[in-house]
A and B are shown apart, each in its own frame.
Chain A
Amino acid sequence: MIPIMQTTEKASERLIRKNKKLSLKNPERNGKVIVYSAAFVTILATLAVTIFLTQQGLQSFYMSGINPLEFLTSTNWNPSGSNPSYGALAFIFGSLSVTVLSALIVAPFGIGAAIFMTEIAPSWGKKILQPVIEILVGIPSVVYGYLGLTVLVPFIRDHIGGSGYSLMAGVIVVSLMILPTVTTLSADAFNRLPNGLRSSSLALGATRWQTVRRVLLPTAMPGLLTAIILGMARAIGEALAIQMVIGNTTILPSSLLDPAATMTTIITLNMGHTTFNSAENNVLWTLGLLLLILSYGLVMLVRFLAARRKF
């Protein structure tokens, strides 16, 4: 046997921690510095964005004298007129309806596809469906927007009604965009379930569908809700693709076929031609702050559901 280390030191000299000095040669120390600074930068960036957005966003209320109640409840948006008004309800409504409606459309399709991939045809699903869906996740949003513009908008105009540029077009484009996200995350939720659950249900003489519906679906539910909420978080932040198909009016839509706008589209459309610290610019920051608050809310909801998850 070859001894690894020969030493005549006493155990106390070998084992008691020596005073380690700050030294570039100490790899333990260097590793610590790298990891700690990475964590620090991440936290700092998040904090900085939050603080900056809060400060800018609140300016419209205390510097430009916009009434917060008017901002949240009025649909009268005319920030560049001679008698400016700043009612953002139409965009808040636009954002929320695009998010909620697309989640409602995507939930059954995404979860259904996930069930197919994990429970009905696992080998086929893993070999073909999974890569296809991963490719879909990677398609840039402008491509979805462009497809919506050239295919969906004319289709709605010719076959359903209106100008084609509509809330409905926005909802459909966003649904297509978040479908792969929801499907992948739902499939993960099913794959995480312990195998014994599946077998024990089948061993009790349950059919495959009974097993899915009564055992797997309820058990995976927190994970599935997380998938849908993360899809919603993506939907609420999407700007470009929606902007290309939704029509961008400042009027509250009265039907799915009416054009509308969302908070993100108003920000991207107007940010360029407003001057920094003007009332019109500040109110766009306020919309940004509202978006941040909404996504914080969604993230917190995800955390809450994750804590309830049993597997």
Chain B
Amino acid sequence: MVTVTLPEIRKAQPLPETKETALDIQELDIYYGDYHALQNVNLPIKKNAINALIGPSGCGKSTILRSINRMNDDVPGFRAEGTIQYDDVNLLHEEIDTVALRKEIGMVFQNPNPFPKSIAKNIMQPLKEHGLYSKQNLSKKVEENLKQVGLWEEVWDRLHMSAYSLSGGQKQRLCIARTLSIHPEVILLDEPASALDPIAMAKIEDLLLTLKESYTVLLVTHNLQQAARIADYTAFFYQGELVEYADTKQFFSNPKEKRSADYISGRFG
């Protein structure tokens, strides 16, 4: 018999009961060609909270992220049905301007991928692309965003150096800073800490906890402890189906579905 050990919860979290919904996923079906990747998913993503998506590889959790900011549009055979309601618009609408959409819904990837430029320019570049040119404002933003991710103290004296000189964890925080610089409403994170060592991972987790004050965070993770530690809500996917979606504490201590219980106790996946 495997006993379920609950990972320690680092910060006490208030029970998030009455949070507003930032993104409302309704009856979402996604296909890659004939393959039915996601089946009738109904999932309200809560505002100013960390929403974790967990599940074994290939269960469709990354597909959801990439459908929200429409990164999957170019995948051959990709088709989405249903709605992802954001404010008063369905993000799956064909007239959505993906460039404007991605400014409001930012994304951080599993592998830190800074641009091969200086640390400062990594943050300036998207700002310039969105029309901010004044040098003074740009360097102000660099400082502000690096402070937001706790990187300023570590790199303030070498902002002109290549972003490739940073460590893996620093690179990932730079990528988060770069995403924050364009002031998104929602931040999608696709296993942002899975390529990092435990210390760097802890820093990212702390950062996400501060970010949820002002942003809606949607986090895909393989790491159950991570979800248990920092997420307010947890959604468990299995084979393209949303098995259970609940308050994190409740999900880990008292899962309603048998499959959820099996998964968190390590019986499959």
Contacts and interface: CB of A to CB of B under 8 A. Distances in A.
Interface in A187-230: 194, 196-197, 199-207, 210, 214-215, 218-219
Contact of B116 (A203, A206, A310): A310
A160 B17 CA distance: 80
Given A219-B116, A310-B116, A204 B109 contact: no
B86 interface: no
Contact of B182 (A200, A204, A219, A310): A204
Contacts, number: 62
A310 B116 CA distance: 8
Given A204-B179, A310-B164, A196 B99 contact: no
Contact of A214 (B111, B129, B130): B129
Interface string A122-148: 010000000000000000000000000
Among B106, B129, B164, chain A packs the most CB atoms within 10 A around the CB of B129
B130 A205 contact: yes
Interface residues of B, number: 25
A204 to B, nearest CB: 4
A204 B116 contact: no
Contacts of B126: 204-206
B179 A194 contact: no
B115 A207 contact: no
B17 to A, nearest CB: 32
A201 B115 contact: yes
Nearest to A211: B129
A61 B126 CA distance: 60
Contacts of B129: 204-207, 210, 214
Given A203-B71, A205-B129, A206-B126, A196 B102 contact: no
Interface residues of A, number: 19
Among A123, A200, A202, A206, chain B packs the most CB atoms within 10 A around the CB of A200
Among A194, A205, A218, A310, chain B packs the most CB atoms within 10 A around the CB of A205
A205 to B, nearest CB: 4
A205 B99 contact: yes
Contacts of B76: 123
Contacts of A199: 71, 107, 109, 113
Contacts of B2: none
B254 to A, nearest CB: 36
Interface string B81-116: 000000000000000000111110011010101011
Nearest to A210: B129
Given A199-B71, A214-B125, A310-B164, A204 B102 contact: yes
Given A205-B100, A206-B129, A200 B109 contact: yes
Contacts of A218: 116-117
Interface string B57-94: 00000000000010100001000000000000000000
B186 to A, nearest CB: 12
B64 to A, nearest CB: 15
Interface string A245-273: 00000000000000000000000000000
A202 B71 contact: yes
A199 B71 CA distance: 8
Nearest to B179: A204
Among B107, B115, B175, chain A packs the most CB atoms within 10 A around the CB of B115
B178 interface: yes
A205 B103 contact: yes
Given A218-B116, A310-B164, A207 B109 contact: no
Contact of B106 (A196, A197, A204): A204
A215 B115 contact: yes
A123 B75 CA distance: 12
B107 A203 contact: yes
A277 B101 CA distance: 75
Given A194-B113, A206-B129, 20 more contacts: A197-B113, A199-B107, A200-B175, A203-B102, A203-B107, A204-B129, A204-B179, A204-B182, A205-B100, A205-B106, A205-B126, A205-B129, A205-B130, A206-B99, A207-B99, A207-B129, A214-B115, A214-B129, A215-B125, A219-B115
6 contacts: A123-B76, A194-B111, A204-B129, A205-B101, A206-B126, A218-B117
Ordered nearest first, which 10 A-B pairs have the shortest CB separation? A196-B113, A205-B103, A203-B107, A205-B102, A204-B126, A200-B113, A219-B116, A210-B129, A206-B129, A310-B116
